[in-house]
Amino acid sequence: MAKFDLVKFGPFRLNRLAAEVSAALSSEYQARYGLDIPEWRVIATLGFRNDACSAQYIAHCTRTHKSTISRAVTALMTRDLIERVENADDRREFRLRLTRQGHALYEELIPRLLRKEREILSCLSAQERKDFAGLLGKIEASLELVQTSKAASETEAY
C-alpha cells in the first residue's frame, strides 16, 4: 500500500495554512472595516502604487479574476473609498485611485495587518523568517508566480 498521509501532504498543508492565515487577518479588514478579500486587494494595490492604474492591472498582479475585481471596484466606489476617471488615451479603461477616505483607511489598516503578520511569524527566528521568505520566493519563481526582471519589463505597461 502506498505510504501517504494527507495531513503531511505539502499542497494540503499549504491550503490549510493559507486559509488559517487569511481567517486571522480577515478579523482586521473584514470585521473592522467591512472589506472582503477582493476589496482589500484593490485598496492595497492602489495604496502601494500611489498613481492610478486600471482594473485589469489589479486583476493581473493580484491574480484575481477580472469579474471579481470589477465587483469589488463597484462596491468601493459606492463607499467613496476609490474613484475612477476616464482614460482619454483608451476609452475602454478607467484609471482607478484611492479617494482621501480610501487613503486614510489604507494608512490605518496597513500597520494592523503588518502587526498581525509579525504575530503569526513570531514563532520563527529572524533568520528563519528570512529563509522562509526565500524558499517561498523560489517556489513562486519556478511556478512563474512572480515576474522575473525580463518578464516584468515585457509587461511594464500594466
Partner DNA sequence: TTTAGATGGTTGCAAATGAGACTATCTTAA
Partner DNA sequence: TTAAGATAGTCTCATTTGCAACCATCTAAA
Residues forming the site for DNA (CB under 7 A)? 36-38, 54-57, 64-68, 70-71, 73-74, 89-94
Distances (CA, A) of 147 to 106, 128, 141, 155: 25, 24, 8, 9
Residue pair 20/12 in contact (Cβ under 8 Å)? The answer is no
Asked whether the CA dihedral 60, 67, 47, 23 is positive or negative, the reply is negative
Out of 85, 104, 133, 152, the residue judged to bind its own copies by CB under 8 A = 133
27-46 residues in contact with its own copies (CB under 8 A) are 41, 44-45
Pairing of strands 82-86, 94-98: antiparallel
Does residue 154 interact with its own copies by CB under 8 A? Answer: no
- Per CB under 8 A, the segment of 15-23, 65-73, 78-86, 90-98 that binds its own copies is 15-23
Compare residues 64 and 70 and give the one whose CB is closer to its own copies: 64
Compare residues 72 and 109 and give the one whose CB is closer to DNA: 72
Distance from C-alpha of 102 to C-alpha of 83, rounded to nearest angstrom? 9
Does residue 151 interact with its own copies by CB under 8 A? Answer: no
Compare residues 76 and 109 and give the one whose CB is closer to DNA: 76
The H or E element containing residue 26 is helix 10-26
